[in-house]
Amino acid sequence: MAVYTPEKPLTAAEITGPGAWWCSGCGDFGVTAAFKDVLVTLVNELGVPLERVFVMSGIGCSSKEPEMLRLNAYHGQHGRSIPVAMGVALANPNLVVVDFGGDGDSYAIGMEHFVHACIKNVNMTLIVMNNQVYGLTRGQASPTGHLGLKTSSTPEGKKVRPVNPLKLAIAAGAAFVGRGVSWKKKELAELMLRAIQTKGFSLLDVFSPCVTYHREPGYRGSGAIVDWYRLNYVLDIQEAWREMRDQVFSEEERAHLPSDYDPTSPDAALYALRLIEEAAKMGREVTGLLLVNESAPTLEEALGVSPERAPALADISVEGNLERYRKLLAELR
Amino acid sequence: MRSIQVCGAGRAGDGTNTNISMLGQVLKDLGAWAFVWREEVYSNIQTRDTAFGLRAADVPVYGPDDEFDILEAFDQGAFVDWTGEGRVPPLARLRKGGIVLYDSSPRLEYPNAGHEVRPEQVEAELKAREARLFGLPMGRMAKEQFGNYIVRGTIALGVLAHMLGLPEEAFARRFVRIFGEGSDLFRLNLEAFRAGLEYARAEGWELPDLRLPLTPREDDERQLLLGNEAVALGSIVAGCRFYAGYPITPASEVLEYMAEKLPSVGGVVVQADSEMAAAHHVIGGSVAGARAMTATSGPGFSLMQEAISAAGMTETPVVIVVSQRGGPATGLPTKVGQEDLNETVFGGHGDFARIVLAPTEPEDAFYMMEKAFNLADRYQCPVFVIYDQMFAQSTYTTPPLNPSRFTIDRGKVVAAPANGHNGRYRRYALTEDGISPRAFPGMPGIHTIYVNTNEHTEEGYITEEMVVRKAMVEKRVVKRMQLIVRDRDLPSPVVHGPADAPIGFIGYGSVYGPVLEAVQRLAEKGQKAKFMALRTIWPFPGREVRRFVDSCRVVYVVEYSATAQLKGLVQREATGPMPRKLRSVLRYDGRPMTPGYVLQSL
Ligand SMILES: Cc1ncc(C[n+]2csc(CCOP(=O)(O)OP(=O)(O)O)c2C)c(N)n1
Ligand code: SF4
Ligand SMILES: [Mg+2]
Among B70, B60, B65, smallest CA distance to B99 is for B70
Q: Is A301 on the interface with B (CB under 8 A)?
A: no
Provide the ipTM.
Answer: 0.98
- Average predicted confidence (pLDDT) for chain B: 96
pLDDT at B111 (0 to 100): 58
More confident residue, B84 or A168: A168
pLDDT at A220 (0 to 100): 84
C-alpha A59 to ligand 2 mean position (Å) = 13
* Alpha carbons B237 and B403: distance in angstroms, whole number: 6
Instruction: Tell if the CB–CB gap between A1 and B282 is shorter than 8 Å.
Output: no
Chain A residues with beta carbon closer than 8 angstroms to that of B246: none
Parallel/antiparallel/unpaired status of strands B529-533 and B494-496: antiparallel
For residues A206 and A180, the answer to whether their CB atoms sit within 8 Å is yes
Q: In the 3-class helix/strand/coil scheme, how is A95-147 assigned residue by residue?
A: CEEEEEEEHHHHHHHCHHHHHHHHHHCCCEEEEEEECCEECCCCCEECCCCCC
For residues A299 and A179, the answer to whether their CB atoms sit within 8 Å is no
Instruction: Tell if the CB–CB gap between A74 and B314 is shorter than 8 Å.
Output: yes
What share of chain B has pLDDT > 70, as a percent? 98
* Alpha carbons B261 and B401: distance in angstroms, whole number: 18
Length of chain B: 602
- Tell me the average pLDDT across B493-517: 98
In this model, does residue B494 exceed pLDDT 50?
A: yes
pLDDT at A6 (0 to 100): 82
Least confident of B198-202, B207-211, B382-386: B207-211
Q: For ligand 1, atom 5, name the residue with the nearest CA.
A: A78
| Local structure of B252: helix, strand or coil | helix
- Tell me the average pLDDT across A307-325: 98
Strand partners, A126: A99, A203
pLDDT bin (cut points 50, 70, 90) of residue B108 is confident
| Local structure of B527: helix, strand or coil | coil
**Backbone φ, ψ for residue A38 (5° rounding):** -65, -40
* Alpha carbons A81 and B453: distance in angstroms, whole number: 11
- Average predicted confidence (pLDDT) for chain A: 96
Q: Is A149 on the interface with B (CB under 8 A)?
A: no
In this model, does residue B192 exceed pLDDT 80?
A: yes
Helix pair angle (A28-44, A185-197), 10° resolution: 50
In this model, does residue B45 exceed pLDDT 70?
A: no
pLDDT bin (cut points 50, 70, 90) of residue B330 is very high
Q: Please count the CA atoms within 13 angstroms of the CA of A276 that sit on its side-chain side.
A: 23
Parallel/antiparallel/unpaired status of strands B240-245 and B268-271: parallel
pLDDT bin (cut points 50, 70, 90) of residue B112 is low
- Tell me the average pLDDT across B491-499: 98
pLDDT bin (cut points 50, 70, 90) of residue B417 is low
pLDDT at B113 (0 to 100): 55
Parallel/antiparallel/unpaired status of strands A133-134 and A140-141: antiparallel
In this model, does residue A141 exceed pLDDT 50?
A: yes
> Which residue from B274, B283, B408 is facing A87, i.e. has the nearest CB?
B283
Instruction: Tell if the CB–CB gap between A332 and B229 is shorter than 8 Å.
Output: yes
Task: Domains for chain A: give ranges and CATH numbers.
Answer: 12-332 (3.40.50.970)
> Which residue from A15, A87, A326 is facing B280, i.e. has the nearest CB?
A87
What share of chain B has pLDDT > 90, as a percent? 93
> Which residue from B270, B306, B441 is facing A72, i.e. has the nearest CB?
B441
pLDDT at B114 (0 to 100): 63
| Local structure of B479: helix, strand or coil | helix
In this model, does residue B421 exceed pLDDT 80?
A: no
Least confident of A224-238, B98-112, B354-368, B494-508: B98-112
Q: Is B256 on the interface with A (CB under 8 A)?
A: no
Angle at the Cα of A291 from the Cα atoms of A285 and A296, rounded to 5 degrees:
140
- Tell me the average pLDDT across B107-120: 77
What share of chain A has pLDDT > 90, as a percent? 91
In this model, does residue B252 exceed pLDDT 60?
A: yes
Chain A residues with beta carbon closer than 8 angstroms to that of B285: 87-88, 90-91, 311-312
Chain A residues with beta carbon closer than 8 angstroms to that of B408: 316-318
Task: Domains for chain B: give ranges and CATH numbers.
Answer: 3-210 (3.40.920.10), 224-405 (3.40.50.970), 412-489 (no CATH), 494-600 (3.40.50.920)
- Tell me the average pLDDT across B225-233: 98
Residue ranges near ligand 3 (ion) with Cβ within 5 Å: A 102-103, 131, 142
Q: Cα dihedral angle (A104, A106, A110, A116), rounded to 10 degrees?
A: -150
pLDDT digits (tens, 9 = 90+) for B444-459: 989 999 999 999 999 9
| Local structure of B450: helix, strand or coil | strand
Question: Per-residue DSSP letters for B153-169?
Answer: HHHHHHHHHHHHT--HH
Task: Give the Cβ contact number of residue B68 at 10 Å.
Answer: 28
pLDDT at A1 (0 to 100): 47
For residues A287 and A179, the answer to whether their CB atoms sit within 8 Å is yes
C-alpha A213 to ligand 3 mean position (Å) = 10
Question: Per-residue DSSP letters for A22-88?
Answer: S-TT-THHHHHHHHHHHHHHHHHTT---GGGEEEEE-SSSGGGGGGGB-SSEEE--TT-HHHHHHHH
